[in-house]
Structure 1
Amino acid sequence: MVVGIRDEAEQAAIALTLEPPADCPQSERQAEVTALEQSLAKARREIGVLQRARESDARTEVSITTALARLEALQEEKITLASEVAKLRGQLVASESAQTSGQVKINALQGEKAALAAEVAKLRDQLVASEIARASEQAKINALQGEKAALAAEVVELRSQRRNSEGALASEQAKVKALQKDKTALSGQSAKLRQELAISERKLKAVYKSISWRITRPLRSFKLPPKWK
């Protein structure tokens, strides 16, 4: 009929169960656990009063029954508080697990951030190298354009020289044609003169071979006086 009071070791175990973990980061859960501990301490004080009352004085059966009922109510309240503490501990563990998961995600995001930063640095280096290569290619293009402009000017000058040369060539060709024409005319005149010379030479040879030329040879050797010349 009388419900026995738990010994001090069991009470210490219950108190240890009700104590929140030392590394609990949430002040609200800590406040709830503190309130539960205060309620449990109050229940313990009432249990101690009842124990002292039972040991020091023999009361009536009605008082004992009332005390036992009160004790049973306090024990049920203690069980309820212990269950609530266990529930809070479970919530705390879940919260810490969620916090750990969040920390893992944060670490993963930081790793991704570091990888992205490295990739950005690499892309910046590639961009700088590309800009340098582009500047070098632009310099080559500018040099080629300068050479192209110089070649174009040289082509224009050569074309002008060619036109001048073609004009001079045409003039020389005209001169050559005129000289060829003069040559042809002179060749005709030379042939005619040669023909006439041949005729004259034949006539002269005929004269030299004639009898009259031979007869008159002494006369040709005779010299006239200067006054007859």
Structure 2
Amino acid sequence: MNTKILLVTGAAIILALALLWPTNTPPPELPPAGNAPDTASDPDEAPPPSSDTLTPEQQALLDNPKVKAYAQRLEFEDDLHDFFANAPSLPEQKRRAQADALQERMNEYEGSAQVSAPEAALIQLAMIQILEPDEEAAKAAAQQLMDRYRAESGARLQAWLEEPRPDFERYKAREKAIVEEVMAMDDIPGGLTRDQYLRERLQEARVEAMGRSAGNNQSN
């Protein structure tokens, strides 16, 4: 199989696993700027803030750990873009050193769920394509990567299947009771057929279960 085809196939497989991982961490929720001074409408014309011009509220905002973490994440994404844009023209030693440093940072973000596993895998597939000029070595590395993520996704799916879901179990029990009740009825109310009445009762049970689940999520 051609290396490019293998990498594209691997990307498709990993994308299919995306639902098993959380999405990226959204921007942090920040307090209002308060008495922040007006800035130029064009960001390129606005002077960079300095400690002498910042208000206490602005300085506190910059010192917020969530803001710092998000800024570091954005910096990481910029570094990734720069790497893939410049990698073909870099000397091999420097290219591999940059790739190793980015891989280490990506592992940290993946471990803290700030980068999803499918995203990390796609980035690594792209790195393989750049770092491995030998076709057989690239194919072997891509296959090893896909095998690892398949195994991890399988373990994650199994853990999800085995996780207790009391709301779902209650709904299934309620559903079973409704079916038994309706099937045992001699007279169906409302002039409906048995199937129509059953669908109506099951729909009501689903709406009730979704409302209960939403309430539990808000309380958590």
TM-score using structure 2 length: 0.19
Higher RCO structure (Cα 8 Å, ≥6 apart): 2
Q: Which has the larger radius of gyration?
A: 1
The structure where helix makes up a greater share of residues is: 1
